[in-house]
Amino acid sequence: MSVLAGQTAIVTGSSSGIGAAIARAVGAAGANVVVNYPGGHSDAADAVVADIVAAGGAAIAFACDVSKEAEVDAMVAHAVATYGTIDIMIANAGWQKDAPFAEMTLAKWQAVIDVNLTGQFLCARAAVREFARRGMVPERSRALGKIVCMSSVHEVIPWGGHVDYAASKGGVMMLMKSIAQELAPQKIRCNGIAPGAIKTPINRSAWETPEAEKKLLELIPYGRIGEPEDIARATVWLCSDDSDYVTGTTLFVDGGMTLYPGFSTGG
C-alpha cells in the first residue's frame, strides 16, 4: 500500500546522502517529490528524480539555498504551482564545517547555523503557512501537515571539534519540539530523526579505511554502520498516518550509538 499516496513532499538536500534515499523512499510510498539541492544545475538531483520516475513516481528537482528566506518561499510556491499543495516538509539539508574550537572561524560557525538551523526554521515556517492555506484533506491524511527535522545523535552527544554542528543539532531539537507543541492543536505533526553514523559523503573519513571503520564500530553497539535507507524507512513512517499519534519526538536511528557503549564494560 502506498502510505503517502496523493501527497506532496519537499525533501531538502536530497541530491545525495540521506536526503536522496529519503526522496526515493517517499516517492516509492506514493508522494510527489520535490528534490531540493543547493544551487546551479545538479546532475545528481536529476538522477534522483529519474530514479523516482522510473519507479513509477512523480518528482521534480528544485535549486534553493535553504538559508535564504526568498528562495525557500519560492521553492514552496513552485511545489504548490506544480502539485497543488505540499503535505510534507522534510528539512534534511545540512553540512559540517569542522575545526578545533579555538580555530573555528565565525564564517564556519555562521555557515553551519545558517543552513542546519535557520534553514529548518525557514522550511518549516513556509510549510506551515501552506498547510494552513490549504486546509484539511481527510482522505489524504489525518494530519493537516507533517514536518520532519533531520537532527543527529549530536543533538544529545557533545562533539568536540564539531561545536558548530552539535550546537545546530541541539537547536534543531528545540525548534522541532517547540513547533510541535505550538501547532499540535492545528493537527500539524513535527518530529525529528537523529541518525547515528550513516555511510554518506558527510562522514567519509570516518568509514573509508578499514582502520577508521573499526574505530567507528566501537561506538555502535549494533555492529554495523547505518545505511541511508535505514533513515529513509523511518522517515516514511513519521510522514504517514501510521505515526499519527506521534509528535514532538526524536526518533534515534543509530544502532545504539546513544547507549553509551563505553559503559557496557566500564563505569
Interface contacts to ligand BGC, rule CB under 6 A: 96, 152-154, 196-197, 202-203, 206
Is the Cβ of residue 136 or residue 206 nearer to ligand BGC in the bound state? 206
Is 83 an active-site residue? Answer: no
State the residue for C-alpha cell 535507507: 229
The single-letter DSSP state of residue 263 is: G
The single-letter DSSP state of residue 193 is: E
Annotated catalytic residue within 37, 83, 165, 245: 165
C-beta of 147: minimal distance to ligand BGC in Å?
19
Cα angle, residue 44 at apex, residues 10 and 80 outer, rounded to 5°: 25
Is the Cβ of residue 188 or residue 232 nearer to ligand BGC in the bound state? 232
Whether 157 and 258 have beta carbons less than 8 Å apart is answered as: yes
The gap from C-alpha 235 to its chain's centroid, in whole angstroms, comes to: 8
C-beta of 111: minimal distance to ligand BGC in Å?
15
Is the Cβ of residue 66 or residue 153 nearer to ligand BGC in the bound state? 153
Report phi then psi at 58, rounded to 5. -125, 135
C-beta of 157: minimal distance to ligand BGC in Å?
7
State the residue for C-alpha cell 528534490: 35
Locate 114 and state its grid cell.
Answer: 545558517
State the pairing for strand pair 88-91/32-37: unpaired
C-beta of 242: minimal distance to ligand BGC in Å?
25
Is the Cβ of residue 30 or residue 94 nearer to ligand BGC in the bound state? 94
State the pairing for strand pair 8-11/188-195: unpaired
Cite the active site residues.
165
